[in-house]
């Protein structure tokens, strides 16, 4: 697709050093955006940036721990210093772990909510004033299907559900400044981290519960780009679940569908 939807636009992607964040940085740059790639791992962020600049795109890297107000303010300032404005913010940085409530230590709760929930709060607070100045902005918060249905862990689900809630408040609060705020909630995705799980018998069972099968990063990127582009100028306060139909309802399996037809 040879489209250039982000000519003269400046996009910040947090957690841009790997996975979805890196794929988003590449895609924004391909469509001509100037990219601010932030990551707590500066080497990873730099690698993303070289990937972009090697193909003549524009990008800078910034080391940022999104749970640090100081880091986050520096990131916004770096973006302004380099590119003069911020049009698009993707709150992508996040951490996750499967864990039962009774096994969750207070420290784990604090760390996870600091990155996954307080992080987007701090980042938005630092970036939105620059968007308000110019009466324009697009914010996409990367939530999770765990914020819509209960799964993964208390701290993760609480953070992601909170992020979806903040999305709605910001949509309302900053609509007068033409800032659109939406969230994207990915479902079950094939990543290097869950490779062993996916290849196990349990993984095969799980895959069958997703109508369209496990997702890929390539499935999420265009959805985020859509919400960052002028094509979605009247969409705000929404949570777009990208889960291959997982959370829509429940497939009880072939026995259920065939029940009234008697024996197979």
Partner 1 sequence: MRLEGQVAIVTGAGQGIGRAIAKTLAGEGAAVVVNDIDLEKASKVAEEIKAQGGKALPIKADVSKRDEVNNLVKETLASFQKVDILVNNAGIAKLTPSLELDEEQWDSTIDTNLKGQFLCSQAVARHMVEQKRGKIINIASLAAHIGTPGLLAYSASKGGVVQLTKVLAVEWGKHNITVNAVSPGFTITELVKSVFEERPDVFEGVDRIPLKRPATPEDIANTVLFLASPESDYVSGQVIAVDGGTLSIHPRMVKPLE
**Residues acting as catalytic residues:** 156
Closer to partner 1 by Cβ: residue 51 or 245: 245
- The verdict on 176 binding partner 1 (CB under 8 A) reads yes
Residue 241 near residue 187, CB atoms below 8 Å: yes
Ramachandran region of residue 242, left (φ > 0), alpha (ψ -120 to 50) or beta? beta
Q: Which of 80, 96, 206, 223 binds partner 1 (CB under 8 A)?
A: 223
Decide: is 233 part of the binding site for partner 1 (CB under 8 A). Answer: yes
Binding segment (CB under 8 A) for partner 1, from list 67-75, 98-106, 118-126, 212-220 = 212-220
Question: Cβ 186 to partner 1, closest distance in Å?
Answer: 9
- For 169, the token pair is 């408040």
Considering the rule CB under 8 A, would residue 198 count as an interface residue with partner 1? no
**Which of 250, 261, 263, 264 lies at the binding interface for partner 1 (CB under 8 A)?**
250
263 binds partner 1 (CB under 8 A): no
Q: 148 and 238 in contact (C-beta within 8 Å)?
A: no
Residue ranges in 143-172 that form contacts with partner 1 under rule CB under 8 A: 168-169, 171-172
Say whether residue 136 binds partner 1 (CB under 8 A): no
150 or 248: whose CB is closer to partner 1? Answer: 248
Identified binder of partner 1 from the candidate list 211, 253, 256, 258, rule CB under 8 A: 211
Exposure class string for 168-201: b at 16+ Cβ within 10 A, else e:
bebbeebeeeebbbbbbbbbbbbbeebeeebeee
Contact criterion met (CB below 8 Å) for 48 and 61:
yes
Distant-in-sequence, close-in-space partners of 114: CB < 8 Å, separation ≥ 6? 67
Q: Find, among 84, 20, 30, the residue nearest to 58 by Cα.
A: 30
Q: Which residues contact 243 (CB under 8 A, 6 or more apart)?
A: 145, 185, 186, 187, 188, 210, 215
Examine residue 102 and tell whether it contacts partner 1 (CB under 8 A): no
Could you tell me which stretch among 14-22, 42-50, 85-93, 221-229 binds partner 1 (CB under 8 A)? 221-229
Residue 101 interacts with partner 1 (CB under 8 A)? no
Contact positions vs partner 1 (CB under 8 A): 1, 168-169, 171-176, 178, 180, 187, 210-212, 215-216, 219-220, 222-223, 225-226, 231-238, 240-245, 247-251
């Amino acid at each position: 697709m040879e489209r250039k939807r982000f000519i003269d636009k400046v996009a910040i992607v947090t957690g841009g050093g790997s996975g979805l964040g890196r794929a988003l940085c590449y895609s924004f740059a391909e469509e001509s955006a100037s990219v601010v790639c932030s990551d707590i791992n500066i080497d990873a962020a730099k690698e993303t940036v070289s990937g972009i600049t090697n193909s003549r795109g524009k990008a800078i890297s910034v080391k940022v721990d999104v749970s640090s107000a100081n880091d986050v303010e520096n990131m916004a300032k770096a973006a302004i210093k380099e590119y003069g404005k911020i049009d698009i913010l993707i709150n992508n940085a996040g951490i996750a772990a499967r864990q039962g409530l009774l096994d969750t230590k207070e420290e784990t709760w604090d760390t996870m909510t600091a990155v996954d929930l307080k992080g987007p709060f701090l980042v938005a607070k630092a970036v939105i004033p620059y968007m308000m100045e110019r009466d324009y902005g697009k914010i996409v918060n990367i939530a999770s299907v765990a914020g819509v249905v209960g799964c993964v862990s208390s701290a993760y689900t609480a953070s992601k559900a909170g992020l979806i809630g903040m999305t709605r408040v910001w949509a309302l609060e900053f609509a007068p400044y033409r800032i659109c705020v939406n969230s994207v909630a990915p479902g079950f995705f094939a990543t290097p981290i869950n490779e062993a799980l996916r290849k196990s018998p349990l993984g095969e069972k799980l895959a069958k519960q997703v109508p369209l099968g496990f997702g890929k990063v390539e499935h999420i990127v265009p959805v985020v780009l859509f919400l960052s582009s002028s094509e979605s100028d009247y969409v705000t306060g929404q949570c777009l679940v990208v889960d291959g139909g997982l959370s829509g309802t429940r497939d009880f399996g072939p026995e259920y569908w065939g029940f009234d037809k008697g024996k197979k």
